[in-house]
Amino acid sequence: MLKSARTVAIALFAVAASAHAQTADDFLAASRAVSAQLIQQLGAQLKQELAKGGPEGAIGVCSEAAPAIAGQLSRQSGARVARVSLKTRNPLLGTPDAWEQAVLVEFDRRVAAGEKPETLEYSETVIEPQGRYFRYMKAIPVQPLCLTCHGTDAMIAPEVAQRLQREYPHDRARGYTVGQIRGAVTVKRPLD
């Protein structure tokens, strides 16, 4: 299943890149596919590591496997694929640019207004100094499992909190509750 989803994502980006007359709908479909692939692969690895090594072991999945998965999908798709958040755990990898910050703030506003966090996405074509890009973001809502490492201090086991402090001295990614927006998958595809 994961292999076929990856194949679909790659095929969608290849088709989108091959013709100049592609529509925003084509780019949106391709971005959704690659975003779903990142979320699926990361979720599967997190669950596997939690079952094997508990919450402490799962910390390595987010710090090592998530950037590797995003890098692989970026190379395969020709777009920059990453995860970003307003409350970063690792500021070197998860800090949003100005466009991403604005979208994340809007996602928070929409959740506060009653929209379901799992449905939130946004896309548009933008012109930046380096060229024209199709940009897409898909919200990552906080699930119960996320609270093991991203919940309030009272929810996080002391040994997990100690490891997080060691590995992420600038961690701001705590204090969440279920249903909030943890961050988003971001896809940036050059059009020129």
Backbone angles phi, psi at 125, to 5 degrees: -95, 130
Q: How much is the pLDDT for 19?
A: 41
Residue 95 pLDDT exceeds 90: yes
Record the pTM.
0.85
- Burial profile 122-159: b = 16 or more Cβ within 10 angstroms, e = fewer: bbeeeeeeeeebbbbbbbbbbeeebbbbbbeeebbeee
* Residue 167 burial (C-beta neighbours within 10 Å; 0-12, 13-18, 19+): middle
Q: How much is the pLDDT for 6?
A: 52
Residue 109 pLDDT exceeds 50: yes
Q: How much is the pLDDT for 22?
A: 77
1-54 pLDDT, tens per residue? 445 545 544 444 554 444 445 788 999 999 999 999 999 999 999 989 888 988
Q: How much is the pLDDT for 54?
A: 86
* In the chain, where the domains are located: 2-190
Backbone angles phi, psi at 145, to 5 degrees: -60, -35
* Residue 21 burial (C-beta neighbours within 10 Å; 0-12, 13-18, 19+): exposed
135-158 pLDDT, tens per residue? 999 999 999 988 999 999 999 999
CA 84/CA 82 separation, integer angstroms? 7
Q: How much is the pLDDT for 17?
A: 47
Residue 7: partners with Cβ closer than 8 Å, 6 or more residues away? none
